[in-house]
Structure 1
Amino acid sequence: MLVKWLIYRNFENLEVWKRSARLSADIYKLTIDLNDFGFRNQLTRSGLSVPSNIAEGMTRESDKERLRFLDISRSSLAETRTQIYIGIDINYINKDIGLQWINETVELSKMLTALKAKIKADS
């Protein structure tokens, strides 16, 4: 039980949390000069939601709650990916950078799915 507690409570050690936090920071940095506040706000909020919900979920007491927050994180990734596609299309986001971000959201989604499977297996 102690091992499970250490794995889940120390969300900072999870690679999926580290990478999603980095993606969120990158989105903030590279859209700082974007004049469309509504678009930028929605994109940064959805990106920020991913590592935030991972952190919140991993500190919850029950596996059911952990899984729910990981689902929210994965949904936020889909929202972020959608906004990136649109940002590329309307020339708010550089295509090369946007495609890197899209690839990262796909990888992060896979990582969240794997983490969910691990939690279920450990239950």
Structure 2
Amino acid sequence: MRISLLVIAAILFSSPLKAQVNSDDVGGNNISSIIGVVTSNPDDFYKIKNLLDYTEGVSVLDYCFQGKLMTISFNPEIFREENEVFDLITSYYVNAKCYRKIMSREVYNRQCQNELAKQNQNTNHQSTK
């Protein structure tokens, strides 16, 4: 009996784990992460945001143009990790530089508070119409 328990425990712990640096599990098994996207054309930032919003399995929760940062949420059954989202971005925007931003949500909110407040205000106005 002990041996079978050890075998079961070994199988469970030896299965591949999906490690996400600075990522949080959000509702429905989606993973939330702060990423940075830089291109030579500043207007590309908003185009990339729209690309992600219209792509199945990934969405932009909020963004910070001044820091070139986005909080994204992605379905790990479609995109296993941020790098697959980065591959999607660079397939459309070859010169885009994408990176995972290692910062706490509090620091992100402080750094981008003006833009986030405007986004929240716009969302509230749209929902009351």
Greater share of residues in strand: 2
TM-score > 0.5, shorter chain as reference: no
TM-score, scaled to structure 1 = 0.28
Greater share of residues in helix: 1
**Highest CA radius of gyration, 1 or 2?**
2
TM-score, scaled to structure 2 = 0.27
